Amino acid sequence: MTKRKYHKKNKKDNLKVNPQLPGFDIEINSFGEIHSNYKIDEINEFLDRNLEDKKLKDQPKEKKSNKKNPKKDRNA
């Protein structure tokens, strides 16, 4: 019997990245630290523009509260 040879594929070659994020690369090291070539703020701005928040989608818009002004109540 011959042994099978397993080839590890380079995942970076097969990754598809959004055209608005050219060259985006993110890695997690052995300590669990995230390393990326984009700043976190840039990634968050991109996600805010392109993704819909599922938790906020079903909530009704907030109404103004009908509570009285607490300063007026103290003086009365």
Q: For residue 69, is it within any domain?
A: no
Q: For residue 53, is it within any domain?
A: yes
The pLDDT of residue 66: 58
Per-residue DSSP letters for the chain? -PPPPP----HHHH----TTSTT--EEE-TTS-EEESS-HHHHHHHHHHH---HHHHSSPPPPPP-PPPHHHHHH-
Q: For residue 49, is it within any domain?
A: yes
What is the per-residue pLDDT across 5-53, written as a single tens digit (0 to 9) for each? 766 666 556 678 888 888 888 899 999 998 999 999 999 999 999 988 8
Q: Can you give the residue range of the structural domain that contains 33?
A: 15-57
Q: For residue 48, is it within any domain?
A: yes
pTM: 0.49
Q: For residue 31, is it within any domain?
A: yes
Q: For residue 7, is it within any domain?
A: no
Q: How many domains are contained in the chain?
A: 1
Q: For residue 39, is it within any domain?
A: yes
Q: For residue 19, is it within any domain?
A: yes
The pLDDT of residue 33: 93
